[in-house]
Amino acid sequence: MEYNLDKRGRDVLRAVIHAHISTGEPVGSRTIAKRYGLGVSPATIRNVMADLEEMGFLTHPHTSAGRIPTDLGFRFYVNELLEERKAAPPFLHQQLSQLQRLLAREDLNPSEVLLEACRILSRISNHMGLVFIPTLKTSRFHHIQFVPLGPRKVLAVVISQGGLIQHKTLTLEEEITPQELEKYSKLLNQEFAGKGLSEVRKAFLEAMEKDIREYDSLYSRALQMARKALETMEEDDALIHLEGTSNILSHKELMENVERMKKLFKAFEEKSKVVKLLDKCLESEDLVVIIGSEAEMEELRDLSLVASSCRVGDRVIGGLGIMGPKRMDYTYVLPLIRETSQLINTILTV
């Protein structure tokens, strides 16, 4: 849905959001008139705020005369109103230089670089840092290729959408030509591309349990080979590491509902609830900003996540993000995550 706000509407919405980010309190028209020099009276601002509320950008909390941004308001702000959001603010340069020195240590492997970056980001942002390192189990199937090694030897290479690779050498009962192997690969890729690898493996097993006569011989042989390739797929859960969870509790609007915070931390302990959400970060080549209800998780309705995939060349090694209240300072957090992700890519690619 597109919204065409005029300049005054944009200016008032931006001012309300900036004021709310600063104080965490509902914002009134007099506050906007005094602090932001829009050149119009409180009455005019009040009318504009009423229009913005009718459009769904603002809302009244309880019976307060002031207004706060809705998820839609924050979304419009992030997409349309952030100024110079593609450039890192000057005050970030010193922090990024320090980050580069800490991450460039030769004793750190890629996973350790992500974990160290998570710790640093949590500390300097005063929000919760989050790192997501996928395994094949939590990834999505992209491609399988059968490579002939000999008359009855085949190398099966399984590639996930994030670039994770698993390979296994198969010993066959009969000889198969390279042309047949190519047909098997093409058939499986058409059938299963984009599905979760665990789902794919389960589908292979279920298919093999059915009467083999239900399938033609080509499909049956392809399933048998794919099952062998994936039957030793690692079963470890994806690593989801949180840093600075106490920072979440430092924001008064979140501490007002202790039960909701308990549910949030329980969701992260269970992991499965957030893996699908974090997969979005790995699949995107740009920053991912998920605001409140957009996460489609009740536990996250008061929070925002700003995250990015981290890559070595074209291969995704994980995701890195910051989670905090919806009123986080996006002008700071977005370039911080973007620049850190690019920094990690540079350090690990050298």
**Tens digit of pLDDT for each residue in 208-252?**
555 444 455 666 777 777 777 776 555 445 578 888 877 877 777
- pLDDT digits over 271-327, tens only? 666 777 777 777 788 899 999 999 988 888 889 999 998 887 777 778 899 999 999
| From-to residues of CATH 3.30.450.40 in the chain | 92-134+238-349
CATH class of 92-134+238-349: alpha beta
- Tell me which fold the domain 7-81 belongs to: Arc Repressor Mutant, subunit A (1.10.10)
Query: In Å, what is the CA distance from 244 to each residue of 4, 237, 254, 314?
Result: 39, 22, 15, 30
CB 290 within 8 A of CB 304: yes
Question: Which ranges in the chain are annotated with CATH 3.30.390.60?
Answer: 139-230
Q: Is 0.85 topped by the overall pTM?
A: no
Q: What are the two backbone dihedrals, phi and then psi, of residue 84, each rounded to the nearest 5 degrees?
A: 55, 40
CATH code reported for the domain at 139-230: 3.30.390.60
Please name the amino acid found at residue 249. L
Give pLDDT tens digits for 48-89. Answer: 999 999 999 999 887 667 899 999 999 999 999 986 444 556
Tell me where in the chain the CATH 1.10.10.10 domain(s) lie. 7-81
Using the predicted structure, report yes or no on whether residue 45 has a pLDDT greater than 90.
Answer: yes
Burial of 158 (0-12, 13-18, 19+ CB in 10 A): buried
